[in-house]
Amino acid sequence: MEPRGAETLRTYEEVNERIKRGDAVVMTADEYVEYVKRYGVEKAAKEVDVVTTGTFGAMCSSGAFLNFGHSDPPIKMYRCWLNNVPAYKGLAAVDAYIGATAISEDRGIEYGGGHVIEDLVSRKEVELRAEGYPTDCYPRRFLRTVVTVDDLNQAVLLNPRNAYQRYLAATNSTDRVLYTYMGTLLPRYGNVMYSGAGQLSPLYKDRGFEVIGVGTRIFLGGGIGYVIGEGTQSKPQDLLATIMVEGDLKKMSPRFLKGATVHRYGATLYVGLGIPIPIINERVAATASTPDEEIFTEVVDYGVPSRSRPVVRRVSYAELKSGKVLIGDREAPASSMSSLTKAREVAEELKKLILRGEFTLTRPVEPLPTYREFKGLEVRGYEPRVKDVMTTKVVSAGPDDDVREVAKLIVSHGVDHIPIVDRDGRLVGIVTSWDLARALANDKRSLREVMTTRVVVARPHEALDLVVARLEEHRISGMPVVDEAGRVVGIVTSDDIARLWRVRAA
Amino acid sequence: MKLRVVYDKVHVGRPVLASVVARTKVLVNILEAKVSPKGGEVVVDVPDDHRAASVVEAFREEGVAVEELKQHILIDLNRCIACGACVSPCPVRAIKVEGSTVEVDEARCVRCQACVWACPMRAIRLL
């Protein structure tokens, strides 16, 4: 078998020669997929020199290195803000890194680092504010001015993780609306949100990393960029590869870099990124022709607030792009967080640049890894769980008990919550001392009439801070703890949690 | 047809809407209602387009200002990237991405604002 990256059909030099002569055959990935469907991959491999790809989506691991130049007198900035968004200043005196997800100190997530970057490439004036500590060489303490991108010595977009090969789609099994980084997820599998360009996806079109490597010249944010290495969190063995890229921000465009706000989540940057795939061998010719029908991803349930969310089903990008996804026996509307329209624009733009001879291809100077262990973060040390603080001696009652008897229980045991259980100990409702006071005042006798049946519950192994969040959300002071079968195994109240804090403080 | 009805501080204390429905016998759906010390504002949908004119007339007779809400979803095309973030969260499926443009079915819209918040480009406004 040919080695990875073998240039058996054409070399980079030959492709670039044809680009310069103006007779290179260039197709977008959409066009190439259609071409291969019609004429077959053998003919395509012979005819086509370059396939252009594109993606345009939220890429949180993005940001820019900026060098402001020295003021007079100079300042050693140790903190700085651009339009009131903090930039990282743990660098030399006037170097800073503005991250896409940093948020404004007055406008919050409605304006973030991504918006600052968009304003910079739009050549708008941006307010720069900085604090320094005086030294013999940098006497200034404070600085406030306005700058444009042209005033800066360097402005370099440097994104540690871009262009996910594909992305997991999201749905929501719970009965409330979730606002996630995958957008708004309606209750009870009410919709599916996805991201990624499918058959246009740059990294999917070169899954073996035969032509994309360190040094590959790419289309980035409307300008020219380079792949500088493996992206963070890259997981190529699961088709979840990413790349690290950089490029001159001054030459980029707000058409392909857009600041964004994901509701109740945060600020980010939408990045347009395209990579040319030279058809150097038959394997690359075949890989680049993969259609949406053969590109799969998983729909996962964001209703489970855990690192490993359950997979609901596997789905192709063709199905996702159709706007409807079958979940169980119901069709859920599906729509995208990333922009397919702009992804196509990227691929078209890159194709035009190549056809005009303004963009030539580069051979990687170093291949990218095709396997990378994917590690989670183990939190070492004690983290309280529900079972550590809950009361296991639960005073409970049955749905047909008399209100006055239960009121006596509350008084004699000094509790505020009485879970109502059936004969098998399974939870069917709850009453609080307040419910009982009201029942007695209104002369109600049966517990069934006054109990709450939609009960907020906790699980024994749940992290305590999730329970605290739920207590706040529902404005309640306690909840029953139930096992897998719905049997009450304890009760956890704000008093139990307060006690934990007292113990810790002591 | 959707109507925006503006109450001054005198009319805000009167059962204007109820009497319009009682007199015209046309059913309306209240989409929004706001009351402030200065007056109030109600947005109603009249599902039966043919009878909307009589509802408008009745509101005028009650002495409140009424106008038809024609285009009430505004999309800033300079910011819209036709992604689709607003499409599937819409509970009444009033939004579609057709090719490179976003199409809104104004008649279906119930003004819940799900799209306004779902839009990462903050390109959507309700009038």
Q: Which residue of B has its CA nearest to A180?
A: B118
The interface predicted TM-score of the complex, written ipTM, equals 0.84
Regarding beta strands A50-52 and A26-28, do their DSSP bridges make them parallel or antiparallel, or are they unpaired? parallel
pLDDT at A463: 87
Question: Which positions in chain B have a beta carbon within 8 angstroms of at least one beta carbon in chain A?
Answer: 79, 81-89, 91, 93, 96-97, 99-100, 114, 117-118, 120-122
Give the distance from residue B41's alpha carbon to the nearest chain A alpha carbon, in angstroms.
27
Question: Quick check: A105 pLDDT over 90?
Answer: yes
Lookup result for tokens 């060098």: A67
pLDDT at A54: 98
Average pLDDT score, chain B? 92
A contacts of B91 (beta carbons < 8 Å): 186, 190
Provide mean pLDDT across the span B42-46.
Answer: 92
Are B2-68 and B73-126 in the same CATH fold? yes
Lookup result for tokens 């443009």: B101
B contacts of A262 (beta carbons < 8 Å): 120
Question: Quick check: A434 pLDDT over 70?
Answer: yes
B contacts of A333 (beta carbons < 8 Å): 87-88, 93
Least confidently predicted of A109-113, A245-249, B47-51: B47-51
Return the H-helix or E-strand segment holding A220: strand A217-220
How far from A340 is each of A232, B55, B83, B98, CA to CA, in Å?
A: 24, 44, 6, 11
The two tokens of residue B3 are: 């109507």
Give the distance from residue B44's alpha carbon to the nearest chain A alpha carbon, in angstroms.
25
pTM above 0.95, yes or no: no
Question: Which positions in chain A have a beta carbon within 8 angstroms of at least one beta carbon in chain B?
Answer: 56-58, 110, 179, 183-186, 190-193, 258, 260-263, 268, 270, 323, 332-342, 344
For an interface test with A, the pick among B77, B78, B79, B81 (most A C-beta atoms closer than 10 Å) comes out as B81
The pLDDT-based confidence of A505 (bands split at 50, 70, 90) is low
Q: Which residue of A has its CA nearest to B83?
A: A339
Q: Which fold has domain B73-126?
A: Alpha-Beta Plaits (3.30.70)
Asked if B83 lies within 8 A of A191 by C-beta distance, the reply is no
Q: Enumerate residues 6+ apart whose C-beta is below 8 A from A464.
A: A383, A384, A385, A386, A388, A389, A497, A500
Average pLDDT score, chain A? 95
The pLDDT-based confidence of B21 (bands split at 50, 70, 90) is very high
Question: Quick check: A384 pLDDT over 90?
Answer: no
pLDDT at B25: 94
Asked if A184 lies within 8 A of B85 by C-beta distance, the reply is yes
Provide mean pLDDT across the span B17-29.
Answer: 93
Nearest by CB: B83 against A110, A323, A337? A337
CATH architecture of the domain formed by B2-68: 2-Layer Sandwich (3.30)
How far from A75 is each of A148, A156, A499, CA to CA, in Å?
A: 19, 22, 50
Question: Using one digit for the tens of pLDDT, what is the confidence trace for A471-498?
Answer: 998 899 999 999 988 899 999 999 888 8
Regarding beta strands A478-482 and A488-493, do their DSSP bridges make them parallel or antiparallel, or are they unpaired? antiparallel
Asked if A184 lies within 8 A of B122 by C-beta distance, the reply is no
Question: Using one digit for the tens of pLDDT, what is the confidence trace for A437-452?
Answer: 888 888 888 888 888 8
For an interface test with B, the pick among A111, A177, A184, A270 (most B C-beta atoms closer than 10 Å) comes out as A184
Q: What does the domain layout of chain B look like in residue ranges? A: 2-68, 73-126
Give the distance from residue A369's alpha carbon to the nearest chain B alpha carbon, in angstroms.
31
Nearest by CB: A339 against B81, B89, B99? B81
Question: Quick check: A506 pLDDT over 70?
Answer: no
B contacts of A340 (beta carbons < 8 Å): 82-84
d(CA A343, CA B83): 10
Provide mean pLDDT across the span B99-113.
Answer: 89
A312-320: long-range contacts (C-beta < 8 A, 24 or more apart)? A312/A171, A312/A173, A312/A189, A315/A169, A315/A192, A316/A292, A317/A166, A317/A194, A317/A196, A317/A198, A317/A199, A317/A292, A317/A293, A318/A198, A318/A291, A318/A292, A318/A293, A320/A169, A320/A192, A320/A194, A320/A198
Q: Which residues of A does the annotation mark as catalytic?
A: 137
Question: Using one digit for the tens of pLDDT, what is the confidence trace for A170-216?
Answer: 999 999 999 999 999 999 999 999 999 999 999 999 999 999 999 99
Asked if A260 lies within 8 A of B120 by C-beta distance, the reply is yes
Nearest by CB: B85 against A190, A323, A335? A335
Provide mean pLDDT across the span B103-123.
Answer: 93
Question: Using one digit for the tens of pLDDT, what is the confidence trace for A300-328?
Answer: 999 987 788 999 999 999 999 999 999 99
